[in-house]
């Protein structure tokens, strides 16, 4: 777009250094498109048309458009995830105000420390055994939670290890807030907000799998918008780009770039299918002064910015059209359309957990002459 193209479409092979998961591979294929003189609505409209035609022609499935849209903040508050599975409910409920200063120190301390206490209502799951509930507690620990509190609602009252810490009025308030009825199991996590979101967001999906309520042939699409422009890296003690440094901030948030970076939302958007992100993109920055502000906020000096991205900043001097686009993970999309649970099932030569290729026995030793020609040397 900077070079003057009005629009383009490409299928590109990509390589990315990231942890392998069921839906990730270090080598994958993208469907990528970019357009000039567009806003977010234009990009979304084009891509909804693409998805509608793709599912009709490939699967014979009629997909209804427009897709539901939801801000990042709403997705996190309701589902604990920026890629929520919309095929079932079990939404998060914030009970922090009800337990502030309560007799259960785990809850009270989490709220006092700036965190929160949230719950999900697993309808009809009061029948879960103590062993099953304990296994759910171990599950959330993998997401940083210290444990899982629970209340099983039965016809004659409640069964819970934390009931003794609450008065009858407090317990009634918790059950009312979570819409709990006899037969329901209410599950709580108390911690920093991100830990609570990660834990309960994954737990609701885990319970849905246990209950067998997920239908692979039900396709629920969702656009998640207004992602934070920055996130704070505690290890480096600085703000970093949530997506990439060329993502445009929301116009009404530009004034907060220097004063309150955590408040700034971006013109970024992801398309989610059944709890899996299948694509994402953004409207890009096209003004030189705004791009330079972004680089400064990310800790790049003017010299470093010009050394790394001087060609781009120079081009911006001559006028660049507003532009944006997005890319799909082709393999991930095919995986979902084929009803598979692993991306390896739809890739001809998938990499295993340590990123090696068993079919072609790579990585392998390299002839010293090849290394010499490429000016490479093996470090012992």
Instruction: List, as one string, the DSSP characters of 165-186.
Output: GS-HHHHHHHHHHTT--TT-EE
Q: What does the pLDDT look like over 298-338, one tens digit per residue?
A: 888 888 988 988 888 888 888 899 999 999 999 999 999 99
Q: Strand, coil or helix: what is 208? A: helix
Closest CA to 102 of 3, 171, 21: 171
Instruction: Tell which wins on pLDDT, 1 or 61.
Output: 61
Q: Give the distance from CA 222 to its chain's centroid.
A: 12
* pLDDT (average), residues 248-260: 95
Residue numbers of the domain that contains 193: 88-211
pLDDT band at 202 (very low <50, low <70, confident <90, very high): very high
In angstroms, the CA 245 to CA 250 distance is 14
Residue 259 belongs to a domain: no
Residue 174 belongs to a domain: yes
Residue 219 belongs to a domain: no
pLDDT of residue 3: 85
* pLDDT (average), residues 270-298: 94
Q: Are 152 and 126 in contact (CB under 8 A)?
A: yes
**What does the DSSP 8-state code read for residue 301?**
-
The tokens describing 326, both together, are: 């997005």
Residue 205 belongs to a domain: yes
Closest CA to 231 of 263, 253, 202, 199: 263
Is the pLDDT assigned to residue 21 strictly greater than 80? no
Closest CA to 330 of 276, 274, 282, 278: 278
In angstroms, the CA 109 to CA 117 distance is 10
Contacts of 36 (CB under 8 A, 6+ apart): 1, 5, 6, 7, 321, 322, 323
What sign does the CA torsion over 208, 212, 216, 221 have?
negative
CA distances for 138 relative to 53, 146, 153, 233, angstroms: 43, 9, 22, 27
Count structural domains, the chain.
1
Q: What percent of the chain has pLDDT over 70?
A: 98
Residue 282 belongs to a domain: no
In angstroms, the CA 75 to CA 55 distance is 25
Helix or strand (DSSP H, E) at 107: helix 105-112
Residue 350 belongs to a domain: no
* pLDDT (average), residues 23-45: 91
Residue 99 belongs to a domain: yes
CATH of the domain at 119: 3.30.1360.30
pLDDT of residue 183: 96
Q: What percent of the chain has pLDDT over 90?
A: 73
Closest CA to 284 of 82, 11, 40: 40
Q: Enter the pTM of the model.
A: 0.89
Residue 294 belongs to a domain: no
Q: What does the pLDDT look like over 146-171, one tens digit per residue?
A: 999 999 999 988 999 899 999 999 99
């Amino acid at each position: 777009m900077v070079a003057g193209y009005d629009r383009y479409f490409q299928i590109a092979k990509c390589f990315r250094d990231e942890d392998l998961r069921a839906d990730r591979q270090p080598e994958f294929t993208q469907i990528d498109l970019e357009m000039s003189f567009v806003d977010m609505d234009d990009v979304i409209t084009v891509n909804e048309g693409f998805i509608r035609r793709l599912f009709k022609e490939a699967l014979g499935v009629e997909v209804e458009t427009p897709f539901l849209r939801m801000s990042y903040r709403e997705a996190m508050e309701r589902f604990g995830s920026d890629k929520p599975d919309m095929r079932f409910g079990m939404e998060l409920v914030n009970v922090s105000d009800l337990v502030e200063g309560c007799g259960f120190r785990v809850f009270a301390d989490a709220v006092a420390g700036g965190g929160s206490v949230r719950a999900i209502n697993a309808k009809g799951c009061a029948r879960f055994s103590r062993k099953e509930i304990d296994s759910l507690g171990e599950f959330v620990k993998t997401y940083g939670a210290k444990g899982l509190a629970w209340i099983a609602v039965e016809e004659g009252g409640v069964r819970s290890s934390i009931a003794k810490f609450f008065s009858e009025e407090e317990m009634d308030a918790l059950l009312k807030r979570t819409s709990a009825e006899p037969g329901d199991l209410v599950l709580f996590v108390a911690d920093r907000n991100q830990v609570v979101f990660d834990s309960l967001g994954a737990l609701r999906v885990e319970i849905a799998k246990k209950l067998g309520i997920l239908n692979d042939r039900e396709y629920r699409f969702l656009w998640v918008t207004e992602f934070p422009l920055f996130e704070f890296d505690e290890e480096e003690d600085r703000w970093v780009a949530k997506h990439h440094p060329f993502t445009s901030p929301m116009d009404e948030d530009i004034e907060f770039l220097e004063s309150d970076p955590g408040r700034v939302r971006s013109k970024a958007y992801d398309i989610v299918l059944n709890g899996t992100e299948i694509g994402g993109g953004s409207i890009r920055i096209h003004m030189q002064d705004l791009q330079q502000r972004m680089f400064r906020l990310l800790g790049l000096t003017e010299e470093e910015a010009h050394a790394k991205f001087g060609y781009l900043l120079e081009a911006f001097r001559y006028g660049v059209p507003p532009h944006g686009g997005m890319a799909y993970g082709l393999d991930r999309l095919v995986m979902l359309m084929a009803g598979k649970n692993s991306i390896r099932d739809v890739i001809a030569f998938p990499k295993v957990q340590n990123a090696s290729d068993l079919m072609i026995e790579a990585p392998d030793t390299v002839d010293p002459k090849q290394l010499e020609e490429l000016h490479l040397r093996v470090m012992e």
